[in-house]
Structures are given as structure tokens and as C-alpha cells.
Amino acid sequence: MEITSIIVITSIVSFSFVLFGHFNSQIIYPFLLILYTSLIRLQKSDINWMIRVTPLLYLIINMIMIYSPLNFLTQYSIRNLEGRGLIGLDRMIGISGSPAGPDILFTCVLIYTVFSIDKKNLIDRINIFVSLFVLLWTSSLSPVFSAIIAMLVVIFPKQKKWVSFLSMTFWLGLIYIYRSSSENIQILLKTLTSLRVRIWDDIWKGMYREFDLWNWLFGRDKMVEFVGLNEKIDANPHNAMLYLLEFSGIIGVIVVIWFVLNRVGQINNANKISLFLTILLLYYLSMSPIPLTMNGDPIILYLLFILLGRPWLFLKSYKS
């Protein structure tokens, strides 16, 4: 599996480089991490340690980089987003310059700590409290929306591959529904997806205008721009699959889906927490490409790639 993946990805990147002269690191980066986690010697106790340490470390670094006089060190502009009345504060801005990042990070920490760590110590209890507070602070609906849909794999574990496929492609259906619906339905969809469905629609229209056949097949090195909030020009597609489609084309997306479905198929159906976390992360990646990039929050990358790279670590019979 690893050798086949390396050959396929190398071929796609090389062909794209010969044709268009750009080196597609966007598809190489996640695959290298998945392959790496599939080869290193790792135990579940190591994952537990990572989950315990990273949230508080992230929070400390985030407070320094965003909310202290040292915030001039960050490469992102510091912005204020009005809160949604949950704790009376503006929404939390993460290290990557957005609530998108800490919201899913602490969602994963909360779920993993509650359901996958049997003997909880003081740090685990602190992480549960901190995670709940951060989720209220970010006030993001995307993790909630993702978690609700991800429950499908808990109900239908034998259909895990179909649920995984749905988690990576459902946005196409939402674009169609959004275009053909009344204004009230459009407002509902924009609320549930935090305005992302409108962005996906704009990106898709832009790709239809700007892409030629080779771009559709192999991607390009330029992102589609659209008019975002406050009439600002933006290029963030807020969707990992659209992100990969722009840079890697249809062929790259097919390879990614094939790889993920193959890995999900190795997760034991009885281990519903592992399945749920995997599908949750895949759905969330359909809401934001940030975790998939080199600017992503590391805990998300580690957990997703460990789930896909070494699924047997999460078997109930596994002894660390």
C-alpha cells in the first residue's frame, strides 16, 4: 500500500511538474505524514501522551501569539470576530488566524479524552474543562455540524467506506441544493456551514470559468479568488477537497479518496470511537483546508494521520 501510494503520487506530481512547471507540495505534504505515521514505531500510550500535552501547550502559545503584546510575532493579522453570546467574549482566534483550528482541535481532544482514555488523571480532567471552554469561546458551528453527520458511522459502522466517501463529497450536493433552493433554505445552509456553502459555490463557478482540461485533471499553482466578507478579495476555499482539486486536479482528488477509503477499511467496525473521530475529521476538512496544510494545527494532523496510518492502535484488544 505504501509503495503503491508513493509511486502514484510521485507520478502525478512529476507529470504536473513537466507539464506546468510547478511542484505540487500541497498533495505531497499530507501523504508524507500519513506514510510516516504508518512506518514509525508508535503505541497508544504515545497518542494518549500527545493528547494530554498538546492542548495546554497550544493554548499557552496561542495566548502569547494572539492575545499578548508579543502578537506582532504572528504572520496573521489580528482580528476581532463578534461572539455569539455564549460567554460574552469575542470569538477565539487560533494560531492560524481563525477560529477554524482551535474549534476542531479541542473537539477532538474532548472526544478522545472522554471516550478513549480509560484511566483519567488530573491533566485529562483539566483538558476536558479547557476543551469545553474553548468550544464555547470559538462559538463555531462547523464542528457541531460535522459531529452530527459523523454519527452516521456509529449507527452504520459496516457502511464506513460509504460514510467516508460522503464526508469528502457532500459539499457538492450542498452546492446543488444551495443553487436550486429558496432564499430561506439558502440562509439556513449558510448558517449551518458558517457561510461556507456560498464560498464553495463561488469557487466552483470560478473554476468553471478559469480551468481548462489540464487544470481539471492535474490542478494548477493559482487559487480561484472570490469576493468574501466586507467585500474583500479572498482565495481560501474553506474546503480541503476543493483545495486539493485546485492544486492537484481530479486525478489527485481521486487518489486521495482512494487512499482514505483504503485506510478507513482497516479500522475495526467495533471500534466506533476511532471510526467516529476519523469521519469527524474528514467532515471538518470539508469545512476548512487549514488542518491539511503546513499551517495546520499539529494535533489535528497527528490524530488524523495516526487514525489513517495505524488504525490497529485503536483496537480494544491492543495492549500499549
Look at residue 125 in the predicted model and tell me its pLDDT: 92
In a domain, 175, yes or no: yes
User: What is the model's pLDDT at position 178?
Assistant: 93
DSSP string across the chain: -HHHHHHHHHHHHHHHHHHHS---HHHHHHHHHHHHHHHS---HHHHHHHHHHHHHHHHHHHHHHHHSGGGGGSSSPP------SSSSSPPP--TTSSSTTHHHHHHHHHHHHHHH-SS--HHHHHHHHHHHHHHHHH--SHHHHHHHHHHHHHH-GGGHHHHHHHHHHHHHHHHHHHHHS-HHHHHHHHHHTTTHHHHHHHHHHHHHHH--HHHHHH--SSPPPEE-GGG-EE---S-HHHHHHHHHHHHHHHHHHHHHHHHHTTS-TT-HHHHHHHHHHHHHHTT-SGGGSTTS-HHHHHHHHHHHH-GGGG-TT---
- Kindly indicate the confidence band of residue 315, based on its pLDDT and cuts at 50, 70 and 90: very low
Flag whether 163 is in a domain: yes
Is 318 a residue whose pLDDT tops 50?
Answer: no
Confidence of residue 129 (pLDDT cuts 50, 70, 90): very high
For residue range 188-220, list pLDDT tens digits in order: 888 877 788 898 999 999 999 999 888 888 887
Query: What is the residue range of 40's domain?
Result: 2-314
Q: Stretch 90-119: mean pLDDT, rounded?
A: 81
Residue 121 is assigned to a structural domain of this protein: yes
Q: What is the pLDDT of residue 317?
A: 37
Tell me the average pLDDT across 54-61. 83
Domain count, the chain: 1
Q: pLDDT tens digits for 18-39?
A: 666 666 666 666 666 666 666 6
Residue 201 in domain: yes
Residue 319 lies in a domain: no
The string of pLDDT tens digits covering residues 62-95 is: 888 888 888 777 666 667 777 665 666 788 888 7
pLDDT average, residue stretch 213-238? 79
| d(C-alpha 147, C-alpha 279), whole Å | 8
Of residues 79 and 295, the one with the higher pLDDT is: 79
Residue 301 lies in a domain: yes
Share of the chain above pLDDT 70, in %: 72
Q: Where is average pLDDT lowest: 91-100, 134-143, 149-158, 235-244?
A: 91-100
Whole-model pTM: value is 0.75
Task: Please report whether residue 320 resides in a domain.
Answer: no
What pLDDT does residue 295 have? Answer: 57
* Cβ proximity of 156 and 163 under 8 Å: yes
**Which among 23-37, 95-109, 158-172, 221-235 has the top mean pLDDT?**
158-172
Most confident of 58-72, 86-100, 305-319: 58-72
Domain-located, residue 15: yes
